[in-house]
Amino acid sequence: MITIYHNPRCSKSREGVCLLEDNGIEFNTVKYLDEKISLEELTGILQKLNCKPIELVRTKEALWKESYKDQNLSDEELIKVMADNPVLIERPIIINGNKAVIGRPTERILEII
């Protein structure tokens, strides 16, 4: 089953949901701003994305710029910051089994469905 980590207020995230629906794909939705993501879950997502924690951070977010940008954070610290502040997590994230992509651009979702 495909899972999409979704922020309904984000246009790219909404486009990801539409792409899945338009292709007749069944999926689970995790509204990650409402449903807290655990450190373990976030670590698993990073492994499936095969990326470093900083690559999943929305570095243009005001919270990042104001509170974290100038800190030299370890990978573990970055994961904790994202778990504590899910608005900093890039979106949408689509997971299919052991594979995952960040749906930017939206067409990247097609790589794993």
- One DSSP character per residue, 81-111 reads HHHH-GGGB-S-EEEETTEEEE-SSGGGGGG
Report, as residue numbers or ranges, the catalytic residues: 10
Which one, of 104, 67, 101, 100, lies nearest residue 82 by Cα?
67
- What does each C-alpha distance from 106 to 63, 77, 92 come to in angstroms? 25, 29, 9
